[in-house]
Amino acid sequence: MSVSAAMQEYLAEAYRLAYYQDSDPYISTSALADVMKVSAPAVTRMVQRLKEAGYLEHEPYRGIYLTPEGEREALISIRRHRLVERFLVDVMQFGWHEVHDSADELGAVVSEVVVERMADMAGHPRRCPHGEPIPTRDGHMPHVTDVPLTEAPLGGRLVISRVSTHDADKLVYLDSLGLKPGTPFDLVERAPFNGPIQLRVAGQIRVLGHELAGSLRVCTPDEFDI
């Protein structure tokens, strides 16, 4: 069975969900429905198609997980999406808040030859504009070590690793504060009871609310250099 764009999108989202769970490969169909913004019956139908095609398995009371073939297709889709995002930002000069949906649309139609040319023109980046790792051409997903900013230890030099929101207004605001993947900063203070967080960025104090800070993941400078 050939893999449709819709099937690849489901596989990619399933992979992303499992990726953020570290060692647990199982995900629930309800979680997949939430991220895909579709109904439970729609997910059930697609899961059955993917299972019949050999791309995932289902284990009662545990959830679904991708087979090696499913992971391969998911990584192809994720690589294409993230490279298209980088091309749009680095070569075509779009803002990082503008490219997520466009990358979905372009990624569904561009050929692998075009995607690899985009990678050449963008300088073979290792992360997308939002800091997510880009799978290698041979299907390896680089491992990223980071923690939510809301859980990071005080003191010491840290770097913005990933931004987990695609909300355009939030991305524009974070950009105005100079908070993008690769940005070094010092974590100055974290107020108790989910209070605001103070960062020192390029010598200036920046204050983030707890909710927005939760969309940032951070690491040490060495850990950012994947």
Phi, then psi, of 46 in degrees rounded to 5: -70, -40
Same domain, 87 and 179: no
Q: What is the DSSP string of 83-152?
A: HHHHIIIIIS---TTSSHHHHHHHHTT--HHHHHHHHHHTT--SB-TTSPBPPPTTS-------EEGGGP
95-149 per-position pLDDT tens digit? 999 999 999 899 888 899 999 999 999 999 999 999 999 999 999 999 899 999 9
Question: What's residue 225's pLDDT?
Answer: 78
Q: What is the mean pLDDT of the chain?
A: 93
- Number of domain units in the chain: 2
86-109 per-position pLDDT tens digit? 999 999 999 999 999 999 899 888
Same domain, 10 and 59: yes
Same domain, 124 and 158: no
Same domain, 122 and 29: yes
- Nearest-CA neighbor of 181 among 116, 86, 92? 86
Question: What's residue 226's pLDDT?
Answer: 59
Q: Give the N- to C-terminal CA distance of the chain in Å, as an integer.
A: 35
